[in-house]
Amino acid sequence: MSGEIGVMPFHAHGSLQGFVISGRWPDSTKEWAQLLVLAVRVASLPGLLPTSTVFGAREELPDDPDPAMVGVVIAEGTVMGAEALRPGMFASHVPTALLMLHPPRETQPSLPECTGAASGCLLLPGLPHLGLEHRAAWVETDCDGTVTSMVSRVGVDPISDPDTAVLAMLLAA
C-alpha cells in the first residue's frame, strides 16, 4: 500500500452530496471500512443527511479536476421517498463500492447513552461464481464522532442483513 488516501466531503444546499477521493482508492476491506467510519462521522452532523442515502464509488472525474483526484463517492439517491433508487439500478455498471448512510434520526443506537448516533453500511460486491466473495462493513458513531460499533466481514450473504440486502437489490438485474 503506497500513497495516502484523501477524503473530502462535499455538500450542496446544506445536504451531503458525496466525498472526493484523492491520492488513490482504498484497496482493502480495512481501508474501505476506514472510509466508512469517516462517512458516518460526517453523516452524524445535524441536518447534513436528511434521510438514509445510498452512495456509489465512481471513477469519473469532473472537468478540470485536481491532479490528485481519483474519483468520487457520490449520493445516488435515497432508500425511500421521491428520490428512491430502483432495484437493478447499478446492474449495467456495478460500482466498486456502495455505501448506505443513515442519519441520527434513522439510527437506533447500539448503546443507550449514544443519542444522536449515525450509522452506515458498506458493500464491496464480489463475483461469487468466480470465487470472489462479497465483503461488507457496518459502522456506528455517536454525535461526537466516537465509533461505538464497527464490524467487517468477508464472505457476506447480502440477504443476511437489511442494509446489504437493499444494496444487493440495487445491484441485481
Phi and psi at residue 125, in whole multiples of 5°? -65, 135
Q: Judge residue 165's burial from the number of C-beta atoms within 10 Å of its C-beta, 0-12 exposed, 13-18 middle, 19 or more buried.
A: middle
Q: How many C-beta atoms surround the C-beta of residue 46 within 10 A?
A: 11
Buried/exposed code over 8-23 (b: 16+ C-beta within 10 A; e: otherwise): ebeeeeeebebbbbbe
Quickly state the pLDDT bin for 83 (edges 50, 70, 90): confident
pLDDT for 16-46, tens place per residue? 999 999 999 999 999 999 999 999 999 999 8
pLDDT score of 109: 85
Pairs from 69-73 (Cβ < 8 Å, separation ≥ 24):
69/20, 69/21, 69/22, 70/21, 70/22, 70/23, 70/24, 70/25, 71/21, 71/25, 72/18, 72/19, 72/20, 72/21, 73/18, 73/19, 73/21, 73/35, 73/39, 73/97, 73/99
CA dihedral sign, ordered 50, 56, 57, 59: negative
Neighbours of 107 (CB within 10 A): 22
Q: Tell me the domain boundaries of the chain.
A: 6-171
Tell me the whole-structure pTM to 2 decimals: 0.91
pLDDT by residue (tens digit) across 101-141?
A: 999 999 988 888 888 899 999 999 876 555 567 899 999 99
